[in-house]
Amino acid sequence: MKPILSPRELAIAIGVSESSLKRWADEGLIHVTRTAGGHRRIHISEAIRFVRATRATLVRPDVLGLPDVSAVVRDTPIGDSDEERLFAYLQDGRAVEARGLLLSLYLAGQSVADICDGPLRRAMARLGELWQHGEAGILVEHRATDICVQAINQLRCTMEPPADAPTAVGGAPAGDPYLLPSLAAATTLVAEGLRAVNLGPDTPTTVLQRAAVHHQAACVWLSVSSVSDASRLSDEIGALADRLAPAGTLLLLGGRGVSALPTVPTAPHVHVCEMMLDLARVARRLVGTGAPESTSAALKAH
């Protein structure tokens, strides 16, 4: 990915004239910075925001350093749904096409939450049903997980929340090996304008609490997929909620395993979210309010 673009490069990528692009920049439709010599420069995150907002067609994605998207454009089976195509790419280990497909859905205006709750979740669920974790299935599942990690990280690298944006920290609890749900949560939050520190799978809740203090987090997400000792995990989550309460830090719980817990804290700063779409909604309110102290109040109406 090319981090900084000239107006000419973005113009070529979306098939418009350089003068149109400069005019849009001067009208404030696209944010540019200036070099010491006064030349306009466009950050890749701003270029991608512009492409999404205007539904521009990327005729030369390679100019932006997004060659994966070209691979998908060349390989467009008519009539297949996004889920169907992603499933086929993941099953066959076609990483370039899978990354390109998810990136092109994002460029076409779908949100990160839509992509994770939709084609990504459904394609992975179908892979899980195929082999019931026989050896061949584990091979495909690990490979598909790695490809999705690459794809989501690629999306994440196109976004740069402001330095003063509220911070979220999160992960999956100790003993939980699932990579994708926490990564999807982090990227959903970043897409909504938060800064996210993803501690990933197998993170003790005490470490999440420490990270929340260290980063003065506005919220902590916990993605629960695999639960071996449900009552112990319930207690750990209860203790985490208690420790987060004084600073007004929200605790956002989600994942397939939450329903296996005997109890979930019911305090006002704890929210159980089913999907990334719910998380995005909470994030939008957080970005609107900023300071952690005010987050609980702002979310009461949620």
Shorter beta-carbon distance to ligand B12: residue 41 or 143: 143
Shorter beta-carbon distance to ligand B12: residue 40 or 121: 121
CA angle 275, 277, 281 (to 5 degrees): 125
- Pick the stretch among 29-37, 117-125, 203-211, 292-300 that binds ligand B12 (CB under 6 A): 117-125
SS3 243: helix
Sequence letter at residue 137: G
Shorter beta-carbon distance to ligand B12: residue 50 or 221: 221
Distance from the first to the final alpha carbon of the chain: 37
Verify binding: residue 139, ligand B12, rule CB under 6 A: no
Sequence letter at residue 257: G
Torsion of CA 14, 19, 24, 26, to 10 degrees: 150
| Element spanning 252, H or E | strand 250-254
Verify binding: residue 179, ligand B12, rule CB under 6 A: yes
Verify binding: residue 270, ligand B12, rule CB under 6 A: no
Least Cα distance to 95 among 84, 104, 86 occurs for: 86
Among 45, 70, 91, 226, which residue sits at the site for ligand B12 (rule: CB under 6 A)?
Answer: 226
Distance between CA atoms of residues 275 and 1, nearest Å: 29
Binding to ligand B12 (CB under 6 A): which residues in 191-220? none
CB of 47 to ligand B12, least distance (A): 27
Among 117, 159, 191, 203, which residue sits at the site for ligand B12 (rule: CB under 6 A)?
Answer: 117
Round the CA-based radius of gyration of the chain to a whole number and report it: 21
CA angle 208, 212, 216 (to 5 degrees): 170
Shorter beta-carbon distance to ligand B12: residue 142 or 214: 142
Among 99, 156, 221, 261, which residue sits at the site for ligand B12 (rule: CB under 6 A)?
Answer: 221
| Element spanning 208, H or E | helix 205-214
| Residue 246 DSSP one-character state | G
- Pick the stretch among 60-68, 77-85, 135-143, 189-197 that binds ligand B12 (CB under 6 A): 135-143
Evaluate whether 279 touches 184 at the Cβ level (below 8 Å).
no
Among 31, 39, 133, 284, which residue sits at the site for ligand B12 (rule: CB under 6 A)?
Answer: 133
CB of 184 to ligand B12, least distance (A): 5
CB of 53 to ligand B12, least distance (A): 25
Binding site for ligand B12 (CB under 6 A): 116-117, 120-121, 124-125, 127-129, 132-133, 138, 141-142, 145, 177-181, 184-185, 221, 223, 225-226, 252, 254-256, 273, 275-276, 278-279
